[in-house]
Amino acid sequence: VESPYSIIIHAWRALGQLRTEAAVPALIKLLLNLDMDWAWEELPQVFAMIGPAAIAPLEATLKQPADGDNDGPQFTLVSGLAQIGLEHSDSRDRVVAILTDALAQNPQTNRMLGGSLCSALIDLEAVEAAPVIETAYAEDRISPRFSGTWATVQVELGLKKKEDFEPEDFEIPFDPDVDPAIESIKQYLEELE
């Protein structure tokens, strides 16, 4: 017997394959109300299958404040937009503009979302977003655990070469938003062994 979750996954994949534009609001609602890792991983692909018609609803939802401490849906919205930009080249510039604007507006309190936005812009080879990314790094609005340091980003975007920097320019500093959780996980795994 299949679990209800596997049925949901098959359903949203089918909606993506059918490019069912009318399903986008319902899929976003599902994403926001269902605390399920599979949704966070699978829905970006579904949104990309549906295509550019999913951009406006994803953008509108991304602009809304996050619900409490649950950033998963926002990361999925960013990833969904990036996938659309990657798979539908005619939408790339629009997606880059949306993600760049979101990074420019991202508060210092949401550094992990800033990291996610920066990673998406790197994936889209968004050299035009470099000034906004640089400002976000300078204002400590990006967690370097997602895309490295500003030096790393410059190399990834082809703005500079690795040789232009010192090795320490690539060292990721302690991140109070992420590192304590990583340490807790490491300790837990060590105890299991």
Give me the tens of pLDDT residue by residue for the chain, a chain 193 residues long: 455 556 566 566 666 666 767 788 888 888 888 766 666 778 899 899 999 999 999 999 999 876 656 677 899 999 999 999 999 999 999 999 999 999 999 887 789 999 999 999 999 999 999 999 999 999 999 999 889 999 999 999 999 999 999 999 999 887 777 777 777 888 888 888 7
Residue 60 contacts residue 25 (beta carbons within 8 Å): no
Q: Where are the alpha helices (DSSP H) in the chain?
A: 4-17, 24-33, 37-50, 55-62, 72-87, 92-105, 111-123, 130-138, 144-147, 150-156, 179-192
Cα–Cα nearest to 133, from 191, 66, 88, 125: 125
The pTM (predicted TM-score) of the whole model is 0.85
